[in-house]
Amino acid sequence: MLITKMISSAILGAALIFPNIAISQQIEVKTLNLQQCIQIALKNNPQIIATQIGVAKLKKKIPEEHAGFYPSLNFNADAGRLSAHPGYYGGKIGDSYNTGLSMRYNIFQGGKTVASVHAARYKYEAGRSGYKGSQQDLILSVTEAYYQLLQAEQFTGVAEKSLQRTQSHLDFANARFKNGLASRSDILKAKTEQSNAKLDLIHARNAVSMTRGQLNIALGQNVSSPIKIVDDLNEAAAKETGGNQSKFQALVEEAYKKRPELRKIENQLQAQRSFIRLAKADYYPTVSLDGNYNFSGNKVSQLYRSNYIGISVSLPLFSGFSRPARVAQEKLQLQVLEQQTASLRQQISLEVWNAFLALKEVKELIVNTQVFLKDAQENSDISEGEYKEGVGSMLDVLDAETTFVAAQQRYIEALADYKIAQMVLQRAVSGKYLEEILG
């Protein structure tokens, strides 16, 4: 017990002597804008890092395949003792030593090395395109989490103000009840409204914690890390994207040129054509230049020199029909990739179309929810004023409050959806904004 008191006293003393320690820890939480959040995510997100490592691994495959253009050189050495039965080698017993260099250079392999190098290069380029697509997906995920967090924080603000207003409604009801101008029912309705407002505030605060956790995970941080972000929901909307068919077609054509998924599958197609050439190379002979330079003998002090150089040719005649089967498989895989390319182009056009319409819709929603919010606020003010003057009912006040809260939430949701819809269209097209972020 004494030790506990001593520790408590020490903590209290430290707090009195260094009162700014706790404050400084809170100030250290930097307020981040969307651009900063994206840069942190691109640097720290473990999935992006894993994809980047995978691309580096594909790059290392290229010099491995280049090795086929160079000769192979080996050093060989062996020593042994022969102890033969009298019936073999005259029953001799003796030592043998051998050492030297051997070399082989593949002069012709039916184009295997060239095809292997090309395949490795195209697979690397496909990996780079896939990495770029993963970066763009991460940017979209961070954007969604960012504005969902802002939406949740503003919902919390709406819930807090609504709770304050319910208290004033309850105060009005109590005052009118004391003066005999209201019934007990008005007080109960006001208390019910206040209880519901408290529940809404609890849900709103929990939603903030959950969306903050989602953003932290996207940034590659601990789920419970404190984070503050810039509120830019109320910034003026960008210029109208346009609603005509020609604008949509221009966006689709831009997507066909820039989408990394298309670049990836195009490189996969080129790699597959190289695999077909690689499979066909088994039909051709292989020609190699061989040579060696050896020293051998029965004693280390008496080794005899020998050397050899020559050309060897190997022509495969029959392999159980495995070669045509392999070529057929590679050709079928090429057809699969071609159909996947056509399907991907259709999918991209659909994504652009949906994103195009969604952005157009949410811009219209912002305009309508602004009108809705203005009318709901005016209705709420009128209902409260009428109730204070004794010409309105508590039920009207509660209905007006409910409508006003709903209008605020719908307007905030429309603003957040607009910001997200902008990025969704950017992702669908791989637009200029994404290119600027990724350099």
Question: What are phi and psi for residue 306, nearest 5 degrees?
Answer: -145, 155
> Does the pLDDT at position 22 exceed 50?
no
Would you state the pLDDT for residue 60?
94
Q: DSSP characters for 314-360?
A: E-----TTHHHHHHHHHHHHHHHHHHHHHHHHHHHHHHHHHHHHHHH
Angle (CA) 133 220 351, round 5°? 30
Please answer whether residues 361 and 420 qualify as being in contact, where contact means their C-beta atoms are separated by less than 8 angstroms. Answer: no
Instruction: Sketch the domain layout of the chain as residue ranges.
Output: 33-438
Quick: pLDDT tens for 148-162.
999 999 999 999 999
Q: Phi, psi (5° rounding) for residue 101?
A: -115, 145
Q: Which residues pair with 229 in a beta bridge?
A: 32
Instruction: Tell me: pLDDT of 6 over 80.
Output: no
pLDDT of 15 above 50: no
Q: Which residues contact 362 (CB under 8 A, 6 or more apart)?
A: 414, 417, 418, 421
* CA within 13 Å, CB half, 407: 20
Mean predicted confidence (pLDDT) in 116-133: 95
Query: If pLDDT is split at 50, 70 and 90, which confidence band does 201 have?
Result: very high
Q: Is 13 exposed, middle or buried (0-12, 13-18, 19+ CB in 10 A)?
A: exposed
Percent above pLDDT 90 for the chain? 64
Kindly tell me if the per-residue pLDDT of 277 is higher than 90: yes
Q: How confident is the model at residue 1 (pLDDT cuts 50, 70, 90)?
A: very low
Nearest-5° angle of CA 160, CA 28, CA 143? 60
- CA pair distance 415, 238, nearest whole angstrom: 12
Q: What is the per-residue pLDDT across 106-118, written as a single tens digit (0 to 9) for each?
A: 998 888 999 999 9
The average pLDDT across 346-354 equals: 95
pLDDT tens for 205-237 read 999 999 999 999 999 999 999 999 999 888 754
- Counts of helices then strands in the chain (DSSP H, E): 11, 6
pLDDT at 257 over 70: yes
Whether the CB-CB separation of 190 and 173 falls below 8 Å is answered with: yes
Q: Over 70: is that where the pLDDT of 5 sits?
A: no
Task: Please give the average per-residue pLDDT across 258-274, as a whole number.
Answer: 95
Q: Is the model more confident about 6 or about 195? A: 195
Which value, in Å, is the radius of gyration of the alpha carbons in the chain? 38
Q: Which has the closest alpha carbon to 416: 229, 251, 254, 241?
A: 229
| Confidence bin at 88 (pLDDT 50/70/90) | low
Assess whether pLDDT exceeds 80 at residue 40: yes
- Phi and psi torsions of 317, nearest 5°: -100, -45
Specify the 3-state DSSP secondary structure of 394. helix
- Classified as helix, coil or strand, 21 is helix
Q: What is the pLDDT of residues 403-431, one digit of tens each?
A: 999 999 999 999 999 999 999 999 999 88
- Give the mean pLDDT of 53-58: 96
Whole-Å CA distances, 3 to 9, 10, 169, 317 = 10, 11, 52, 90
Specify the 3-state DSSP secondary structure of 31.
strand
Cβ atoms 384, 401 nearer than 8 A: no
Average pLDDT over residues 127-149: 95
Q: What is the pLDDT of residue 376?
A: 95
- Identify the CA nearest to 390 among candidates 172, 187, 165, 178: 172
The CA distance from 407 to 274, in Å, is 60
What local confidence, expressed as pLDDT, does residue 20 receive?
45
Chain-wide mean pLDDT for the chain?
86
- The answer to whether 22 and 200 have CB atoms below 8 angstroms apart is no
Is pLDDT above 50 for 241?
Answer: no
How much is the pLDDT for 144? 96
- What superfamily does domain 33-438 belong to in CATH? Outer membrane efflux proteins (OEP) (1.20.1600.10)
